[in-house]
């Protein structure tokens, strides 16, 4: 079924690659979801196609192992990438770069295989897209640490553990999680190995890979073959990945046991400082805060697509004010690409792509985990730099107040609205329990909410923005249509 007319097929001998990888693996990836399938695996596919590597990637999954049984194995670990261009055309490509897909659950046959893989001295890197939640104490880090103990005891060869998750200081987050889990072993030699022989490169990744689109399914030959599945854990996944064309991956070049030549597939390898600047540029100014703004207000205004949000004049104005007038001022040039050009691409090509089936409801998930970085860092920069002042900020306090309004679970018409999952949702709801739709004066009860440094990365009142957020929230509480009215009034 993967031999689709017009689809770029692998140019290498997949069976030979599988055999070579099984004998001497070089790369394991944890987190077998769409960003891995539709981006990272295709980087190695590119190297294989060009004869720049002879080995593939072994995929491992800890959170939702059902996708291994229902998506990977039935299709020989292959994936179809459907690139959705803004003009409505599509690009089709097949990857066979994943040579094995394993459930990383201790005590299983798959886990025994992973122990063999981690014992291989030539293993160069283990990468991760397990989301920020995956680095908390739990199955993923426990499994990884057990496998690292196996490597330590078998060969103690160096290794790079490289987070590719879309979160700030991801390498530091991974290192802390591994060392915390390793303390349970009570082995100082193991801790020393993890600290001295293992690296934790930082990275910045960017490519939008939304949930499978029904329109894409219908566009493919024999649509029934490509139908998505929903697992017991709620993962919605298909034999294909639909994604946008733009993609960026910037990695700190710290690989003590070598690495594939991924720079020849378009990956930027650089120093940690440059990674931080690139990540900060994207996360605090040129993409992520724009996404959150569209998510919050898109849900409140009844939108179901990001491109639909961008066709709304008020939301487009908010995005431009947020990115060009406020975010760029606080960005330090990363040197490897131009921030304004990156932002131009986001605003004029990526967010407006009507064929990319991304929704504000998806992006609104876990917003509490994103706010401190996407907005708090910029607020702090405005407060710290003498050439900037928080008093000049308009779009940022508007979004923060809009998030508080969103958490009430009522849209701009006062109708009940689903609030996307968030690990702090009960706490957030409690903090805003004194705020009521139709009663603007109750916004004063949100003062403690806007003082919460864990939510915003700073006390908004100490920066001079707390009162502004309370007033903006009050404006959006007046009644039906007040969110739209506030948006227009502030951005006029």
Q: What is the pLDDT of residues 345-399, one digit of tens each?
A: 999 999 999 999 999 999 999 999 999 999 999 999 999 999 999 999 999 999 9
Distance from C-alpha of 97 to C-alpha of 73, rounded to nearest angstrom: 14
Q: Are 476 and 483 in contact (CB under 8 A)?
A: yes
Mean pLDDT of the 452-459 span? 96
> What is the residue extent of each domain of the chain?
14-270, 283-491
Mean pLDDT of the 333-337 span? 96
Q: What is the pLDDT of residues 49-64, one digit of tens each?
A: 999 999 999 999 999 9
Mean pLDDT of the 179-193 span? 97
- Indicate whether 86 pLDDT > 90: yes
Write the secondary structure of the chain as one string of H (helix), E (strand) and C (coil). CCCCCCCECCCCCHHHHHHHHHHCCCEEEECCCHHHHHHHHHHHHHHHHCCCCCCCEEEEECCCCHHHHHHHHHHCCCEEEEEECCCCCEEEEEECCEEEEEECCCCCHHHHHHHHHHCCCCCCEEEECCCHHHHCCCHHHHHHHHHHHHHHHHCCCCEEEEECCCCCCHHHHHHHHHHHHHHHHCCHHHHHHHHHCEECCCEEEECCCCCCCHHHHHHCCCHHHHCCEECCCCCEECCEEEECCCCEEEEECCCCCCCCCHHHHCCEEECHHHHHHHHHHHHHHHCHHHHHHHHHHHHHCCCCCHHHHHCCHHHHHHHHHHHHHHHHHHCCCCCCCCHHHHHHHHHHHHCCCCCCCCCHHHHCCCHHHHHHHHHHHHHHHHHHCCCCCHHHCCHHHHHHHHHHHHCCCECCCCCECCCCCCCCHHHHHHHCCCCECCEHHHHHHHHHHHCCHHHHCCCCCCCCCHHHHHHHHHHHCCCCCHHHHHHHHHHC
Say what percent of the chain tops pLDDT 90.
98
Per-residue confidence (pLDDT) for residue 166, from 0 to 100: 87
C-alpha atoms less than 13 angstroms from C-alpha of 475 in its C-beta half-sphere: 19
Q: Does domain 14-270 have CATH number 3.40.50.720?
A: yes
Distance from C-alpha of 172 to C-alpha of 201, rounded to nearest angstrom: 8
Distance from C-alpha of 291 to C-alpha of 366, rounded to nearest angstrom: 13
Mean pLDDT of the 178-198 span? 98
Cα(first)–Cα(last) distance of the chain, in Å?
Answer: 53
- Indicate whether 133 pLDDT > 90: no
Which band of pLDDT confidence, cut at 50, 70 and 90, is reported for residue 232? Answer: very high
Q: What is the pLDDT of residues 295-323, one digit of tens each?
A: 999 999 999 999 999 999 999 999 999 99
- Indicate whether 96 pLDDT > 90: yes
Q: Are 334 and 277 in contact (CB under 8 A)?
A: yes
Q: Which CATH architecture has domain 283-491?
A: Orthogonal Bundle (1.10)
Per-residue confidence (pLDDT) for residue 168, from 0 to 100: 83
- Indicate whether 112 pLDDT > 90: yes
- Indicate whether 122 pLDDT > 90: yes
Radius of gyration of the chain (CA): 23
């Amino acid at each position: 079924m993967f031999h689709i007319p017009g689809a770029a097929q692998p140019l290498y001998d997949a069976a030979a690659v599988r055999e070579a990888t099984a004998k001497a693996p070089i790369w394991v990836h944890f987190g077998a979801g769409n960003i891995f399938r539709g981006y990272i695996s295709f980087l190695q596919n590119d190297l294989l196609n060009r004869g720049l590597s002879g080995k593939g990637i072994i995929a491992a999954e800890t959170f939702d192992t059902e996708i291994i049984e229902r998506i990977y194995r039935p299709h020989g670990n292959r994936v179809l990438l459907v690139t959705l261009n803004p003009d409505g055309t599509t690009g089709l490509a097949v990857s066979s770069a994943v040579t094995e897909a394993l459930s990383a659950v201790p005590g299983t046959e798959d886990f025994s295989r992973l122990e063999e893989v981690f014992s291989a001295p030539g293993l160069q890197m283990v990468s991760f897209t397990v989301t920020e939640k995956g680095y908390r104490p739990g199955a993923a880090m426990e499994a990884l640490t057990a496998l690292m103990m196996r490597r330590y005891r078998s060969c103690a060869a160096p290794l790079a553990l490289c987070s590719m998750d879309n979160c700030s200081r991801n390498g530091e987050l991974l290192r802390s999680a591994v060392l915390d889990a390793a303390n349970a072993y009570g082995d100082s030699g193991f801790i020393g190995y993890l600290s001295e022989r293992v690296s934790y490169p930082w990275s910045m990744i960017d490519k939008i890979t939304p949930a499978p689109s029904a329109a894409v399914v219908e566009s493919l030959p024999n649509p029934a073959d490509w139908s998505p599945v929903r697992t017991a854990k709620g993962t919605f996944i298909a034999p294909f990945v639909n994604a946008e064309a733009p993609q960026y991956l910037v990695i700190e070049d710290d690989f003590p046991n070598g690495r594939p030549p991924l720079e020849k597939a378009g990956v930027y390898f650089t120093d940690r400082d440059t990674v931080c600047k690139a990540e900060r540029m994207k996360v605090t100014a040129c993409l992520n805060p724009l996404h959150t703004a569209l998510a919050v207000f898109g849900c409140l205004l009844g939108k179901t697509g990001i491109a639909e949000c961008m066709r709304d004049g008020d939301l487009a104005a908010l995005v431009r004010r947020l990115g060009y007038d406020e975010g760029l001022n606080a960005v330090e040039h990363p040197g490897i690409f131009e921030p304004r050009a990156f932002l131009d691409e986001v605003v004029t090509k990526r967010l407006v792509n009507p064929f990319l089936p991304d929704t504000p409801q998806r992006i609104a998930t876990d917003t509490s985990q994103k706010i401190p970085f996407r907005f708090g860092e910029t607020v702090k920069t405005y407060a710290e730099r003498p050439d900037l002042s928080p008093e000049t900020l308009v779009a940022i306090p508007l979004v923060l107040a809009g998030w508080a309004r969103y958490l009430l679970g009522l849209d701009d018409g006062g109708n009940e609205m689903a609030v996307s999952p968030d690990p702090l949702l009960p706490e957030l709801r409690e903090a805003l329990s004194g705020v009521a739709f139709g009663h603007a004066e109750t916004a004063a009860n949100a003062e403690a909410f806007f003082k919460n440094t864990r939510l915003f990365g700073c006390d908004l009142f100490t920066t001079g923005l707390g009162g502004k957020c309370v007033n903006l929230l009050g404006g959006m509480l007046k009644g039906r249509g007040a969110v739209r009215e506030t948006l227009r009034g502030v951005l006029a």
